[in-house]
Amino acid sequence: MSLLFTHIKELLQTRPKSEVKVMGDAMKVLPHIKNAFLRVQGDTILDFGPMADLVIQETDEVIDVTGRIILPTWCDSHSHTVYAGDRSQEFVDRLNGLSYEDIAAKGGGILNSAQTLQNTTEDALFEQSMERVNALVQLGTGALEIKSGYGLNSEAELKMLRVIKTIKKNAPLKIKATFLGAHAVPKLFKSDKQAYIDLIINTMLPEIARQKLADFVDVFCEKGYFSVDDTEQILKAAAQYGLVPKIHVNQFNAFGGVKLGVQYKALSVDHLEILDQEDIEVLKHSDTIPVALPGCSFFLGIPYTPARKLIDAGMAVAIASDYNPGSAPSGNMNFIVSLACIKMNMTPEEAINAATLNGAYAMDISEQYGSIATAKKANLIITKKMTSYRQIPYHFGNNPIHQVMINGAFVK
Ligand code: NIG
Ligand code: FE
């Protein structure tokens, strides 16, 4: 099947396939072609360019998209989209004055979600989660990382990872799976955290590796959760199975998690609401990409990741949704792009780079996703009619999307 888009108002994020991330000042540039064409063959981008260069060839379908912008689909590199039930009661508790930490200390938070998930069947968990994933695709997400971490015992962690695998089979978009057994210390191990870490290392990791259920490993490295030492034990064990780290660090406190992540060659370090100068120095000299999660800052009312500082120091930054029932109950990447501009002072060009190519880099898929390049996957957002791509972040909360194409097929 071949398809030709003509008269594209702006074709965004056109880069050579060899460009796998965008760093520092280069993030201010969003390469694009005005009045463009784009040819898709099967699931792949065949070629593109200015309308003036279009050579007539036989094509199964021609679509005139006058007035519309085309860009690569969002690459959301950090989510907890597989979860059971919701935590709207805790949301109301927070509105009434409790903090996220207060709620967790009372046994709510992640432990609350874990209890619900343990009592939910695999089929029901799949159904709830798949519905969310389908909604995300409609909102323009074409690649999504999903974490475990609401199981907190071997059986339920494996159940979550199997659900992610089933989503991978059934959903059109690209999925990457991350094992986050160390998301919180379960109630049963409250007085013996090391025993839970041992369970992760000696039971969960080997089984997950044997069944090839995860691409990455994650740890919530935070006060009251897992220390730098705890995190190191898990990263060291995971390395034996070839699981690359993508870790939760510096959400509330900076105490060396970033440095540890870089030391263990983490693909990404995520959150970073609290960053010190040493973290910035360490990151600057590494291939680890910082990932900001502005939806979490927005929802919890905590500081935003100082993305400006990171970009101005020459680094690549990615943005992701963190979609989860506790700290970010929305996976709408269009809104995340808006928040990145409005709350982190990123320009529209920087935010779109951060949510496409750099997001793909943070999932290790940027050779196939995240930009418009010949031989990359035809994962495209076709926008409503608009005057410029700046309108995507500008009209916060609006849906800019007319149609989504994944692997060369329109999403129904
Ligand atoms: O990324 N911080 C740790 N994990 C999630 C929140 C999990 C939850 O509250 O359920 C996050 O914000
Ligand atoms: Fe998270």
Count of Cβ atoms closer than 10 Å to residue 102 Cβ: 14
Q: How far is the CA of 323 from the centre of ligand 2 (A)?
A: 7
Mutate to test the pocket of ligand 1, among 90, 101, 110, 323 (most ligand atoms within 8 A of CB): 110
pLDDT at 77: 99
User: What residue spans define the domains of the chain?
Assistant: 2-73+371-410, 75-361
In tens digits, the chain (412 residues) has pLDDT values of 999 999 999 999 999 999 999 999 999 999 999 999 999 999 999 999 999 999 989 999 999 999 999 999 999 999 999 999 999 999 999 999 999 999 999 889 999 999 999 999 999 999 999 999 999 999 999 999 999 999 999 999 999 999 999 999 999 999 999 999 999 999 999 999 999 999 999 999 999 999 999 999 999 999 999 999 999 999 999 999 999 999 999 999 999 999 999 999 999 999 999 999 999 999 999 999 999 999 999 999 999 999 999 999 999 999 999 999 999 999 999 999 999 999 999 999 999 999 999 999 999 999 999 999 999 999 999 999 999 999 999 999 999 999 999 999 999 9
For the Cβ of 362 lying below 6 angstroms from any atom of ligand 1, the answer is no
2-73+371-410 and 75-361 have identical folds: no
∠ CA 224-103-233, rounded to 5°: 25
Dist. CA 167–CA 77, nearest whole Å = 16
The atom of ligand 1 lying closest to the CA of 270 is 1
249 contacts 278 by C-beta, under 8 angstroms:
no
Mutate to test the pocket of ligand 1, among 77, 78, 80 (most ligand atoms within 8 A of CB): 80
Q: Which CATH number among 2.70.70.10, 2.30.40.10, 3.40.50.300, 3.40.50.2000 corresponds to the domain 2-73+371-410?
A: 2.30.40.10
Mutate to test the pocket of ligand 1, among 76, 82, 86, 220 (most ligand atoms within 8 A of CB): 220
- Indicate the residue type of 77: S
Determine which helix (DSSP H) or strand (DSSP E) holds 68, and give its type and residue range: strand 68-72
Residue whose CA is at the smallest distance from ligand 1 atom 8: 326
Q: Which CATH number among 3.20.20.140, 3.40.47.10, 3.40.50.360, 3.40.50.1820 corresponds to the domain 75-361?
A: 3.20.20.140
pLDDT at 384: 98
Residue whose CA is at the smallest distance from ligand 1 atom 3: 220
Dist. CA 182–CA 257, nearest whole Å = 14
408 contacts 38 by C-beta, under 8 angstroms:
no
For the Cβ of 153 lying below 6 angstroms from any atom of ligand 1, the answer is no
